[in-house]
Amino acid sequence: MKVELRKWSLADKEGLTELCNAVDRTFLSDRLPNPYTDENADWWLNMVTKSEGIDGTFRAIVVDGKIVGSVSIERKADIYRLDGELGYMLLQDYWNRGLMSRAVGQVCEIALKELGLNRITANVFHPNLASQRVLLKNGFTQEGIMRNAAIKCENIYDILIFGLLK
């Protein structure tokens, strides 16, 4: 199994669309359109092209030539501009193989260096134990809990705040 993290390109539209329509959305933000259209992919890939290395670090997770996930860190704004927010997703067939733990470690290293960040923040739904393990394996510390902070499929969830300092 050949695994690589690579920058997104405009040529990834079909793979991105397939990924976003197939991914388990249980613990993902509703910011990800559903269904995910070609127009959504065009918008996102153009945004990534303009923002890469300036306001974000965005990588496709590719296994044996197939896009199976995404990992990114986006710089926050205003007084929080030295903090980046981590986000990721992975097709369920690739869970529990250590792929996301490796991807998160690599993207954090890149973002801290290239974006000049002082910290990276990750927000996790309380029941998402797999995401919590990924973050802890990569040196993140749980910094707090936002009680009843998110609604997903009519369920109210606590959000755990994790941080990684440079």
Provide DSSP, the chain.
Answer: --EEEEE--GGGHHHHHHHHHHS--TTS-TTS-SSPPHHHHHHHHHHHHHHBTTTEEEEEEEETTEEEEEEEEEE--GGGTTEEEEEEEE-GGGTTSSHHHHHHHHHHHHHHHHS--SEEEEEEETT-HHHHHHHHHTT-EEEEEEEEEEEETTEEEEEEEEEEE-
d(CA 107, CA 86): 9
Angle (CA) 93-96-98 rounded to 5° is 115
1 pLDDT above the threshold of 90: no
Question: What per-residue confidence (pLDDT) applies to 93?
Answer: 96
Condensed to tens digits (0 to 9), the pLDDT of residues 21-60 reads 999 999 999 999 999 999 999 999 999 999 999 999 999 9
Q: What percent of the chain has pLDDT over 70?
A: 100
Please name the CATH architecture into which domain 3-117 falls.
3-Layer(aba) Sandwich (3.40)
114 pLDDT above the threshold of 90: yes
Give the domain ranges of the chain: 3-117
Q: What percent of the chain has pLDDT over 90?
A: 98
Condensed to tens digits (0 to 9), the pLDDT of residues 121-134 reads 999 999 999 999 99
Question: What per-residue confidence (pLDDT) applies to 38?
Answer: 97
Mean confidence (pLDDT) of the chain: 97
Any idea how long the chain is?
166
Condensed to tens digits (0 to 9), the pLDDT of residues 91-109 reads 999 999 999 999 999 999 9
Question: What per-residue confidence (pLDDT) applies to 12?
Answer: 97
pTM recorded for the entire structure: 0.94
